[in-house]
Structure formats: C-alpha cells, structure tokens
Chains A and B, each alone.
Chain A
Amino acid sequence: MTAPQHHIPEPMMAAYVAGNLPQPFAVVVATHISMCDECRARHETHLALGGAVLESLEDAPVSDAMRAGLFAMLDEPAPEEPAAPKPRGIYPAPLADMVPGDGPRWRSIGMGARQSILWRGKEGSLRLLYIPAGQAVPDHSHNGLELTLVLQGSFSDEGGRFGVGDVEVADEAVEHTPLAGIDSPCICLAATDAPLRFSGMIPRLLQPVFRI
C-alpha cells in the first residue's frame, strides 16, 4: 500500500483530539490514523499541543477528600479492560467493531452500487459504499460536510484520485461525481453531518427510502 496522499485537515484533527468532532467524522479520523503514519504523528503532535494548553491553565485547587479518596483506590483491582478492537480484512480496528463479523449488511442503491449504514444519529450518518469497478456514484451535492475514506480500490473525481487510505473532504460548495477505478470495486467509508442531495430527479425521490 502506498502512503495516503489526502489527509485529515488540521482543524478536524484538533477537534478530534479535543473530543469535539461529530461521531461519524470521529470514526473516519480514527480509521484514517490507523492507516496513515503521517496522521498518526500529527495526532500525537496535536495531543502535545493539548497537553501544553492543559499545563498553561490556572490551577483550580482540588479537595483533600478527593485526593485521599483516590489514593485509597490505587490498590483496588482494576476492572477488566475490554479487549482492544482488532482490524479485520479491509476494516481497521475502529471500524471493525462496527461491521458485522460476516460482512456488512449491503443494500442496493441502484446500478450495482450498494451501501450499508453503520451509524445514524442527530450528528449525521456513517455508511459504507460499494461502487462497482469503473462506475460512478450518483451525482450529488451536500447540505453539510462529507468525508470519504477509501478502504479498497480507488475513485477519482474533480478533486483528484483517491486510493486506499485517502480522505476526501467535500462541503456545500462541492458537486462531484466520484468514479470508481477500473481495477476493482471501490469500497469507501462515508460520513456526513447532513443528508446528501442528489442532482438527478429519481435519486432525489429515492433519497428518503435509502436514507442517504
């Protein structure tokens, strides 16, 4: 695997480190870091900055009772930690936990394309997309932010070529037509903080049904 060329934007990494990124995006960031040494290093550096901010804060004195209570707990046996999630196939650890062991529950969205919704809430949605080799994702624009991470194959659009590990960031201003590479079907992880808007008439009608 060549190293990813398209990375997590700086502000998004800062928000992730502070724990202030909508859930679907946080999963994409954690997954990308798992695939990208450069962003793993950037992640650590943002944590260092967080630590510097922490150190610069003015002390809020804590009570002796709390301190004593803590020290009384140090020798207690620690509760068992849940095992760290493991990567599975094309799914890095943070994602493997969200995909059923026997594979994603795919649903057709037409033209051989499929999707599997992994998470949906008021913060947006997270899904896997499967695009047959050489095919296009239906023309669409976005009400909010869309983050797409390639897990298998590749796609190209107005923003360039995106291979395994690459992240594309698209917002309201972007109307793009991602086209899957011809070598293999493209599987990607897509997070949005608002429903997608398809440009074609029929996809728009179908949108509520498919919950894209």
Chain B
Amino acid sequence: ALNKLQHAPETELLIAVRDRRDKQAFAQLFDIYAPKLKAMVMRSGTPAAQAEDIVQDAMLSVWRKAAQFDAHRSQASGWIYRIARNRMIDIARRDYRPLPEELKIDEPPAEQPAEIMAMDQEAARLRAALDTLPQSQREMIEKAYLGELSHKEITETTGLPLGTIKSRIRLGLERLRHELKDLRQS
C-alpha cells in the first residue's frame, strides 16, 4: 500500500480492537504493553504477583473500554497509560476519582487518517524529545509520570525540564486545540 497513510502500528492495533474486537490485535497490544505496565506498577513498590493482577485488570479495561479510544485525540500509549494509572488509583484508594467531563459530541466525526497520522507523528517527536534529554532530566520526567514525585516535588525540582519539553507540548496543544474546535463545530 504505497499511497496509503500509515498510522503507528499501536494505533492500528487499538483501532482494530475497537472496531472489530480483533483478539489477534489485542494479543499484540498485550505483548507490547503488559510487560511495560508491569514495570510501571512495580516501580510504585507493588510486589510482582500483585503487579500482575493489576496489569491483567488494566489490560481487561483496555479491551472493554476500547470503544472510547479516539485516535484523533490520543495515541495508544497515552491512552493505555491513562487507563492503567486510573486502575492503579482505583485499587490503591477506593476514594471518588474525579474525571474531566466528556466532550459532548453528537456524532463522532468521520475518521481522518491524515489527522491521526499527524497525531502519531507528534507523539513520535515527543518521544524523540524525551530521548535527547540529559539522563538526569529524563529520570525526573520518568519519576514524575510514574507517580514518584509529589506535586510539590515536581514544582521544586529544578532539574525537571518541563520548560524544555514545553515547545513540544505547545505543538501538541495547537493541534489538539484545532481538533477540539472542530469537534465543537461539527
């Protein structure tokens, strides 16, 4: 398919799970993300056996909530990260977990392959930006997003290059902003 726009493979897999309940695709997603999720859960001090339970639970949520995945707004890794963090919070604290209101979209817009690809490219650039950071800054970012730093620590950590990645964030922001505007107008 020379002229066909290609999404990131993970995005394709998640769309296949969403639209066709494709177990083969889900198996591939599992093999990519389950070991990463286990590493993430264990970083929070959870023993391996319990971490497996949480990963199983999170991947089951991925399967069941796939209908909510919108490739125009998120890519697979960010979406799966979100599902898994939410499950971890639910399990750790039975408290009310406040979630942002869903956008009210009467009719989901038709799939826009170019938009989705642009989204994937942004995500790839974001990862590349992350890779070029000095080791110490990288570690701080990791710690922040793996829940190892409190808000106060993130604020006080001078080594946290939120400024460095801001240009990337701003680019993502621009894209998403247009996306949101289009959604509201459709």
* Contact surface of A with B, Cβ cutoff 8 Å: 9-12, 14-15, 17-23, 25-27, 29-31, 33-34, 37-38, 40-63, 66-67, 69-71, 73-74, 78, 84-85, 87, 92-95, 97-98, 145
How far, in Å, is B48 (CB) from chain A's closest CB?
8
Q: Can you list 14 A-B pairs with a CB-CB distance of less than 8 A?
A: A14-B145, A19-B86, A20-B149, A23-B95, A26-B98, A45-B169, A48-B122, A49-B78, A51-B123, A52-B77, A53-B130, A60-B48, A60-B51, A69-B56
B19 within 8 A of A: no
Q: Report how far A19 CA is from B123 CA in the complex, Å.
A: 21
Additional A-B contact list (15), CB under 8 Å, known A54-B145, A58-B39: A11-B154, A12-B155, A18-B146, A18-B149, A31-B98, A38-B177, A40-B103, A40-B180, A45-B176, A46-B145, A62-B35, A62-B55, A71-B23, A92-B101, A93-B100
Please, which residues of chain A bring their CB within 8 A of the CB of B75?
Answer: 48, 51
* Contact surface of B with A, Cβ cutoff 8 Å: 23, 26-27, 30, 33-40, 42-43, 48, 51-53, 55-56, 59-60, 63-64, 73-82, 84-86, 88-89, 95-103, 122-123, 126-127, 130-131, 141-142, 144-147, 149-152, 154-155, 160, 162, 165-166, 169, 172-173, 176-177, 179-181
Q: Report how far A12 CA is from B155 CA in the complex, Å.
A: 8
Beta-carbon contact of A48 and B146 below 8 Å: no
Please, which residues of chain B bring their CB within 8 A of the CB of A11?
Answer: 144, 151, 154-155, 160, 162
The dominant DSSP class at the A interface is helix
Please, which residues of chain B bring their CB within 8 A of the CB of A14?
Answer: 144-145, 151, 154, 162
| Choice from A15, A27, A54 contacting B98 with Cβ under 8 Å | A27
Please, which residues of chain A bring their CB within 8 A of the CB of B172?
Answer: 41, 44-45, 48
Please, which residues of chain A bring their CB within 8 A of the CB of B151?
Answer: 11-12, 14-15, 20-22, 25
Q: Report how far A41 CA is from B176 CA in the complex, Å.
A: 5
Please, which residues of chain A bring their CB within 8 A of the CB of B42?
Answer: 60
Beta-carbon contact of B144 and A15 below 8 Å: yes
Beta-carbon contact of B86 and A51 below 8 Å: no
Q: Report how far A68 CA is from B27 CA in the complex, Å.
A: 10
